[in-house]
Structure 1
Amino acid sequence: MTSSGAVAASARAVVGLHATEPVSVYLSAWARSGATQADVDDALYRERSVVKQLAMRRTLFAFPVDLLPAVRGSAAARVAAQQHGLLARSVVTAGLATDGDAWVERACDLALERLAQEPATTNQLRNQLPMLAVRLPRPENPTSPPAPVAARVLTVLAASGRVVRGNNQGSWTTSKPVWTLVDDWVPGPAGSAEPWGAAEGYAELVRRWLWAYGPGTEADIVWWLGATKSAVRQALADTRAVAVSLEDGAPAWLHPDDVDPVAAPAPWAALLPALDPATMGWRGRTFHIDPRTAKAVYDRAGNGLPTAWWNGRTVGGWTQQADGRVTVVPHVDLPRTAIIALDHQADELTQRLDGQVLRTTFHRPQQEGDRPVTAERVP
């Protein structure tokens, strides 16, 4: 397997890597496969074996390329319809048009016509297409100044699978995508393939989720998928998922080929970035984190912050000092073996980052009174 192939394998192992924060793709792939920054760049921008796609819960993912038709026909299509409707209503409310749907379609068509000539950034599209420079109130914060509509039009196009984030004009820590038509970017059959039907697409996503995250509850899958209970129940039936019980007696589901007992793995430690699939894989998280400490590694919206893991449990977070040194911030007492293993992970990540201090858009509670891991804390 090539180094960039390991990146695709890492994404496939967890269905897809979260990509809302650009650095998450790199750090999640490194934690799972040792992939370097160059390896991830190769997978994303040269081989394109992993492609960014807006999907579940209006979240950006980096999916294995073969999964795109299933995603586009199900979770992404649901987001596209929601965002199209929101934008259409905003257009009417702002008095730009009486037919909001027609306005959105026209704006999308203009953007597609321009991108058919040459890929472009959001700013380039806004500067070249006056319709995309129109300003509307921000739906998530109506009291803030109105913003150009270009980003919202591109959100509709990206979710619908008509355009894709191509090359990145920023560094690996920033997102400045060059928007590209899907057929011009995605290699092989996946690029030209029609989106699957919604039921078929949801079944494939649930099948892969069960393999990666099962056992899980219906509530876990509904939350992760951002879909309705009826869609999830149909997908569970279509995948012939096996009903099981969790330790607390709650009903849950397993992949039909994953019902054999699994031996406990060797002890392991990992430092994972914000929005890593492991922190965002389930709605119910008490099996891997103490509820009393969960608020230290999840923000108020439930977004997972940088976390430290030991033997399958979240035991704290991690942060960086001003000089770029990575330090672990424990929230539970740890044995010496865990401290040594997590310290080793912190040293390796420090070397990887080479003095670069990462920034996150999420509030990080563990920075309030950070405590680096030290052997003196072991009882």
Structure 2
Amino acid sequence: MTALPRITAAQRRTRLVRRHLLAPSVRAKAPEAVADALVGLHATDPATVFLAAAARMHAPTVGAIDAALYDTPAGTPPDVPVLARIRCMRRTMFVVPAHLAPTIHAATAAAHTDRHRPHALTQLHDALGWTEHRYATVEQTVLEVLAARGGATAAELADAIPDLREGIVTFPGKPYQSRQRASTPVLGVLAAEGRIRRTRPAGSWTSAQFRWAPARPLPRMAAAEAKTELARRYVAAFGPVTADDLKWWTGWTVTDTRKALAATGAQAVELDEGTGYLLPEHLDSATEDTPEPAAALLPGLDPTAMGWRHRDWYLDPDHTKALFDRNGNIGPTIWWNGRIVGAWAQQPQGHINHHLLTDPGSQARTAIAGEIGRLTTFLTDTRVTPCYRTPLERRLWAPPSTTRTAN
């Protein structure tokens, strides 16, 4: 039997730095190029999108990232920015290149779309006695209000449509029971069906209070074709990957993962974790030139930090508890040459506090200081606190009056 080509952890880290734009020489000019390189940017936390893009851009500005998210370029269809915010992989929010949105939606979320409406109707019927007719009437009113105003937040819609203000209890009797307005399931269904979309938020770029606006549903694509294309793009950006990595990243079943991976024509290679896969055209570049030594400060939920199921080749397992919360969400991290070496947090007064989990050497410490300065310049007077707090991030965030700096 012919032995599989072997790719070492060091070679994988070299590829990570280059493909994920984590060195100055390979940074992008525009935020859409960052999203394209990584397939998509995690968007559950609105700040992650801006910070993930800024870390990989030559000269990042909030204005450039904001424009890519919300403004329509000249010569393109109206109301279609270059980046689209959609629920997709693992049923979580991502910002993806608009031209890829139909493919990604068909590969990940389209199969679940038809379930949202019956679920919401059952929820509102059981909690509030809504009939199907009442639900349809409220929904139509929402669309009419948005069309008339051009856009509105959920709170503004609730002010205009009293039915949306009615309260419901989700998961009654469970430890995670919560209360929400009827607007949540109604707007959720319209968004899942592509009939409305999130636009520029009320407040700063860190705000999660998005405005809603009318939208055109994404074009339909065959699921199998879309999954093959998404798998191909993932392997191109993150490869070599294991089948388990692809399954975890997409949220697919084992069967769908195997079919899509096989359809890409990816070639098997040997990794420390077992069998991995690379696209045939990338086999020769598996040992590509190493970029210059480079540091990067990445935000919580960054797509690189969250991009693989198996992470030992870039993250010391002993550091997992400090960097992740109980649900598996990673906090802000410091990288050196494709490996996580520390964490950072912005304190309430604006100072970027950081802690190194291992000593990467004087060259790395100098580069990290430079990246802290670059991030400080980008943030100006903005304060960023991750949506998902991790043990080390909380400790670094604590004001100087309650803890000593970890620099």
Shorter-chain TM-score range: 0.7 to 0.9
Amino acid across the alignment from 2:142:
A
SS at match of 1:208: helix
From 112, 116, 137, the counterpart of 2:147: 116
1:158-197 matches, cutoff 5 A: 158-183=191-216, 194-197=219-222
Q: d(CA) in 2 for partners of 1:204 and 1:33?
A: 26
1:90 aligned onto 2:123: yes
How many angstroms does 1:6 deviate by?
1.1
1:10 aligned onto 2:10: no
1:213 aligned onto 2:245: no
From 244, 254, 263, the counterpart of 2:269: 244
How many angstroms does 1:109 deviate by?
4.3
How many angstroms does 1:66 deviate by?
0.2
SS at match of 2:103: helix
Q: d(CA) in 2 for partners of 1:243 and 1:12?
A: 25
From 120, 140, 157, the counterpart of 2:190: 157
Q: What residue ranges of structure 2 are gaps of 5+ in the alignment?
A: 1-26, 74-80, 397-403
SS at match of 2:191: helix
Q: Which has the higher contact order (CA 8 A, sep 6+)?
A: 2
Amino acid across the alignment from 1:117:
A
Give yes or no for contact 1:299–1:363 (8 Å, CA) kept in 2: yes
CA deviations 1:168-192 (Å, max 9, x no partner) are 2221111222211223xxxxxxxx7
> What does residue 370 of structure 2 align with?
344
How many angstroms does 1:76 deviate by?
2.5
Amino acid across the alignment from 1:197:
A
SS at match of 2:213: strand
From 83, 87, 96, the counterpart of 1:50: 83
CA deviations 1:325-361 (Å, max 9, x no partner) are 2122111222111111111111221222224321222
Give the number of aligned pairs.
361
> What does residue 235 of structure 1 align with?
260
- Say if 1:294 and 1:81 are closer, same or farther in 2 by CA, change over 3 A: farther
Give yes or no for contact 1:75–1:227 (8 Å, CA) kept in 2: yes
SS at match of 2:240: coil
1:23 aligned onto 2:53: no
1:330 aligned onto 2:344: no
Which moved further from structure 2: 167-176 or 257-266? 257-266
How many angstroms does 1:79 deviate by?
4.7
Give yes or no for contact 2:346–2:385 (8 Å, CA) kept in 1: no
How many angstroms does 1:314 deviate by?
0.9
> What does residue 69 of structure 1 align with?
102
Normalised by the length of structure 2, the TM-score is: 0.81
1:354 aligned onto 2:347: no
CA deviations 1:241-260 (Å, max 9, x no partner) are 22222124x12222232221
Which moved further from structure 2: 308-317 or 223-232? 223-232
1:291-306 matches, cutoff 5 A: 291-306=317-332
How many angstroms does 1:131 deviate by?
3.6
1:283-294 matches, cutoff 5 A: 283-294=309-320
| Amino-acid identity (%) | 36
CA deviations 1:125-182 (Å, max 9, x no partner) are 2233344333221349666552112122222222332221122222111122221122
1:259 aligned onto 2:283: yes
Which moved further from structure 2: 20-29 or 160-169? 160-169
Which moved further from structure 2: 228-237 or 295-304? 228-237
CA deviations 1:85-116 (Å, max 9, x no partner) are 543442354362577xx876665444334433
SS at match of 1:296: helix
Amino acid across the alignment from 2:109:
A
1:129 aligned onto 2:169: no
* Structure 1 vs Structure 2 CA RMSD: 2.6
CA deviations 1:212-255 (Å, max 9, x no partner) are 1111111111111122222222211222222222124x122222
Give yes or no for contact 2:43–2:93 (8 Å, CA) kept in 1: yes
Q: What residue ranges of structure 1 are gaps of 5+ in the alignment?
A: 184-191, 375-379
Give yes or no for contact 2:267–2:280 (8 Å, CA) kept in 1: yes
Q: d(CA) in 1 for partners of 2:176 and 2:46?
A: 28
Amino acid across the alignment from 2:262:
A
